[in-house]
Structure 1
């Protein structure tokens, strides 16, 4: 029977991903089957999980998904020896208004599945106060069980001893303490970690993290703290409709932000997916029924996209007769122009009138609930779609027919409505699920 743990922290940037990858690889090196999941709307971390374990990782999200969908997704871990779910932000951080089965907090998943939490605590600039923080997190929500902590970035043996004694006094187990180790820091950019597929040395980096953590953390004690679980088969799978039978999917360094569970659900429903690279000046498959441009980093490659005439003309020809949809970065590329961070304006495909700019960056972040005012591939007028938006672009113009009435997690209407023109549609949010 598999066992499960949740890796969380008091806040972002403490070391959750590094510890998750290190534990996963260390246990895999011992011959254990390790399955990872990611709590919340992060489309980058699952690729790192897959690199560490050799098994696909997917997102589980209490704001956007119901319990049946989450049960369906985690059922892939029933043949594993140990399941690790990496949290997002702090343990209890979510939105103010409850979604489908929770607020999107990591604690929702821990309580729902009955998996104990291993906290990563960074005691930099403090000592005994770290124990007060851990104790507060332990006692904040009765249904969430704390297994223990791993200290990260301890300054010295004396520092470690002070923190350990304080944690012992409040009855919290310390599984290990990691000194500062810059060599295993994962590179970042403005939307999070640099993607796993862009890092040629990712395997070596994970191996080094596993070696380092194995030398400072009691892996056996962490493993013993995991809870046995037997997931009940879900009556229904994900409520996801493929956008078409044959899908041409843009896939490269500029177009890679797509949730793994979405692609799996499309395939499970019988859809066929063919990929193409706009950065390699490739056009979508002429035999496809629909073209889908996910988000990514088009702002880092705007000049190349603008210069790739075969891609642009091929996409425009495709859109004359068949639907094309873009999410976030893909939506920007369907527009008329994109101004990069240096103020240079680059012509995009012109299928929509949207014009965006990164010259003055402004963060747009949060869950989105969209009621479609016009159809988009796979979804009819009136469908209620749940997704997440995260970008730094500013809308210069959005002149086309609004695609949806979009609300944030508090119910407030937002200006990023998405657009529709002829066969082209686009949204700033990344689709996670449709309300049943």
Structure 2
């Protein structure tokens, strides 16, 4: 294909000829007979966006689930009405996602039994690390004697008993294409594609078998150090899920003891205490973080987190100043899958009510966009539109200055993967 009258982010005007890779760039390139021509009309062309941490299976499942977050249900009575009126899936379950205690308080089997006693119900906490199951659901899982119905997502002893429904990833891939996303990194531990159907056009990079979720109640420095060393011995980098200060402290010490791999990662780094900054920089791991949660959940942080610790939440600018390699992602479906919204969150740091959370962590629009264009294995190393690069491109309808001023998914005019147009807005 030939893209004419394109503008690069630095203002350079160029035509671009692409096959699976970019084969030519010049101020004016005559079209070849039969060549597909896309007139960018002065719009910006950037490398296709790469979401460096999301969950394909969970996103496909979430699309078929009922949402019960604070923005969806007002109280326990409302939650109960949503559950009892929801038709069970083909596997007999009512599956709900996105729950947080701000919606209807703490959940356990007794609370769910009072709200929905007869149909098997399982509700995923919005963090993704816990499920709440009622007695009917526990009986189906062979866990009738379980004390409270609060189950860990990482525990295969109960999840293996579920009958996995076929999950169609096509719609999720099409949604990502409309955002200009040409590649994704799946951060699910022990990922496999069993039960997945449909077509996902984006290139896919996976963190398994090096992904590890840490839990505050099971932090074992020696065991984690051994696990990391074992992965490194097989030339496998690790990606450690750290959403609390305790998890980060143990992860950094384990990485120091086990030795580093050049592609090691810290996922989320939701809380980075001041005292951990230098250790994080010295360790050399890339931080893949999600400032979109400031825009999505920031008002709850303002209430739940002591004010003296607000500056430690979802850092970006201070990490980069300290020399930490940083990339951005959405954590879909636990965060909204729109990378442009995540960019705006990194720039403005505004909560849903409009308050600013972590003003010192703001970055420029150009930096926010660039942090979504990294290489899969080196997320903090941005890709560029240049001859020889893969023809994975995001074509915008706006010139560079407007693109950076707006950072809006509505600007995406077309998405090109391996030289093929997979999305066109009109």
**What TM-score, normalized by structure 1, do the two folds share?**
0.29
Ranked by relative contact order (alpha carbons within 8 Å, sequence separation 6 or more), the top structure is 2
